[in-house]
Amino acid sequence: MSRQERVVRALVGAHGRTYADEAGIRLKDTPQPLYRLLVLSHLLSARIRGSIALATARALHEAGLRDPRRMAGADWQERVDALGRGGYRRYDERTATQLGDAAELLNERWGGDLRRLRREADGTVPELRRLLQEFPGVGPAGADIFLREAQGVWPEVAPYLDAKALQGAERLELPKEPERLVEAAGRTDPAVLAAALVRAAVDKDVVADTLRRAG
């Protein structure tokens, strides 16, 4: 086994958990999990700790705001309160408005079903990325987060290793070509690989731990 393979497999073995999984989302190609991933991507893309975004995604779910119909139907204060319970206080008022507006857009344009957005993009990743950014609060970073995680259930997206994931590869002295990273990861789900690389990009302790494990 090459050094690259050892490093990638050590990384995935210790840190290969998707953000959707950590947020309690059992990701499937069905409307509710995909919507919850969209909300999570919105939350994670802000300049706030990932742990707070994950806790807030769980708090929104616990408040019943787990699909676009309920999110759009909730009043603004209800959304603010749920965001606050997750610790998302710095951006709670603006985000409460954006979540409501995004849910209304999803309901009106795609019938509350992100699979219809996928069909509109016709399997074209740049178009998927563009359409996702039409949701208020979802910019390029949020679209990248969504596609990194969704590639596990939308195979035409894979391998989706964006600049943040490739930054993690660079920190681990791995190649920055997605095809070579996927090859080194063997049968690893590309969504899991992407999440592990992002963790290396944002946490130097993940880098140190991975290199120690790889030997």
99-155 pLDDT per residue, tens: 999 999 999 999 999 999 999 999 899 999 999 999 999 999 999 999 999 999 999
CA atoms within 13 A on the CB side of 114: 30
C-alpha–C-alpha distance, residues 31 and 179, integer Å: 30
C-alpha–C-alpha distance, residues 131 and 194, integer Å: 21
Please choose, from the candidates 150, 136, 130, 143, the residue with its C-alpha nearest in 3D space to the C-alpha of residue 191.
150
Cβ(18)–Cβ(27) under 8 Å? yes
C-alpha–C-alpha distance, residues 160 and 158, integer Å: 5
Please choose, from the candidates 2, 13, 1, the residue with its C-alpha nearest in 3D space to the C-alpha of residue 213.
13
Hey, which bits of the chain come out as E strands? none
What are 42-95's pLDDT values in tens digits? 999 998 899 999 999 999 999 999 999 999 999 999 999 999 999 998 788 999
C-alpha–C-alpha distance, residues 206 and 180, integer Å: 21
- The DSSP output letter for 135 is S
Query: What is the reported pLDDT for 14?
Result: 97
Query: What is the reported pLDDT for 123?
Result: 81
